[in-house]
Chains A and B, each alone.
Chain A
Amino acid sequence: MSVGAGPATAPATARRVIDARGSWCPGPLMELIAAIREEDVGTEIELLSSDEGSRKDVPLWLEKAGQRLLAMTSEGGFDRYVIQKVR
């Protein structure tokens, strides 16, 4: 599964990676929110989550928060979300 535009791999700039695999909803989302609070506008964040609830909650929160989902891919047993802080 893949949504959004932009590269899921080979980023042009350094990315902050949050490995939230093994954490349950809403753990991955809360880790993402903490990272959005801390990082500068323009920063890319890569979130790894094995929690199925994240598939709904993460895109929903990003839309509400006005942040950009660059890519979402399913990999063996987990999902990879690439996000850019835009505001």
Chain B
Amino acid sequence: MKRVVVLGGGIGGTTVANRIRRLLANEVAGGQVQIQVVDRDGIHAYQPGFLMVVFDKMRPEETKQAESHLLHRSIELVKAEVEKVDTAAKKVLVKGGREISYDLLVIASGSVLHPELVPGFSEAAHTFYDLANAEKLRDTLRTFSGGRIVVNVAGLPYKCPVAPLEVSFMLDDFLRSRGVRDKSEIHYTYPIPKVFGIDTVAPVMQKLMVDRGISIHVPFNVQTIDPAKKTMTSLEGETLPFDLLIGIPPHRGADFLKDSGLGDKGNWVPTDRYALTADGKEGIFVLGDATNIPISKAGSTADYEAEVVAQNVASVVRGGGVTARYEGRVYCWIMTGLTQATYIKFDYLHPPHPPTPSFAHYWNKTIYNRAYWDMTARAMF
């Protein structure tokens, strides 16, 4: 029997497991292939929904489901935290002492937030990169009567690269709808000398910001935050005061990757950008945020990568080779207000050109927010 083990029950891990199961349906049903997903808590979060929660556009309970409800019934869910991968012995060691052997391993362990890497962040900053903090920010905004708001990205890479743009545009719209925009300032900070990393997108977003009266501070690499004085200071020497700070904390790959000799300095797995195999490691595939590929750490990236990984896993299980290629496909909506959006669609060879923001793009995004569970996580379409 061939054993396929997937580490992580986020979008990448869940959809790739379901896709592998479908491609190998006969082998799984016949007991020649076993698929296991190892996930820390068995709760699947639709992370793009957190930003929607901030602005009361989704309810918190709409952003999560039990992982067991999303995986095909023939896939075993192991609720455990990974401690280490022994690549020589082809075993995954999880907390509690259990060892899980594999023939093929898929690493989809995502990224981990590290607010402690910025002094003062945890005490002073709101964030929306986890559900509990998104709800706190929502509650704060409900009673916000005006003031100086700073949006900060602590470092690159981080997941959902367009989210800081989105929160800025949505804030502008939200404050206008509440009648307090004229009593408020929005300041957008970003670590590189432009408002976004992709050259064809940055000028478009910058123009939208200027049109909305959003102040831009780039490059701004936060060094320290003073919670008492409510100021943040950058490596470039700029100090910004704030009444409300919305921060994207530093990201790293999962800790076990370093302990397993699989991660680089940031705990990202060096990965072949086309084959999505771990460099120099036999039988290990990588997708989603966990890779070191310099492309958006976004849900759509993981989804498109999962198609390729599933095909290659199925091929290898059947004695074939790694022939399917990931061409760098990404598709992200960008909320440019509370009821309008644009999108970016690109791959390694074709940069994105976001269309004019419209209600129609927002509506598509809204539909996807509901369709995600069946369309992407269960991989039913």
Contact = CB atoms under 8 A, between A and B. Distances in A.
User: Do A and B form a real pair?
Assistant: yes
Interface of A: 23-27, 29-30, 33, 36-37, 53, 56-57, 60-61, 64-66, 87
A53 B156 contact: no
A57 B237 contact: no
A1 to B, nearest CB: 20
Contact of B237 (A24, A27, A60, A66): A66
A27 B294 contact: yes
Contact of B235 (A37, A57, A60): A37
B193 interface: yes
A56 B219 CA distance: 13
Given A53-B199, A64-B219, A65-B219, A26 B192 contact: yes
Contacts of A56: 193
A70 to B, nearest CB: 19
B189 to A, nearest CB: 12
Query: Which secondary structure dominates where chain A touches chain B?
Result: helix
B221 A33 contact: yes
Given A53-B199, A64-B219, A66-B237, A33 B193 contact: no
Nearest to A26: B192
B236 A64 contact: yes
A33 B199 contact: no
B205 to A, nearest CB: 15
Nearest to B295: A24
B42 interface: no
B155 interface: yes
Contacts of A64: 193, 219, 236
A14 B191 CA distance: 28
Contact of B294 (A23, A33, A36, A87): A23
A57 B193 CA distance: 6
B227 interface: no
B197 interface: yes
Contacts of A53: 199
A72 to B, nearest CB: 16
Nearest to A29: B192
A36 B191 CA distance: 13
Nearest to B218: A64
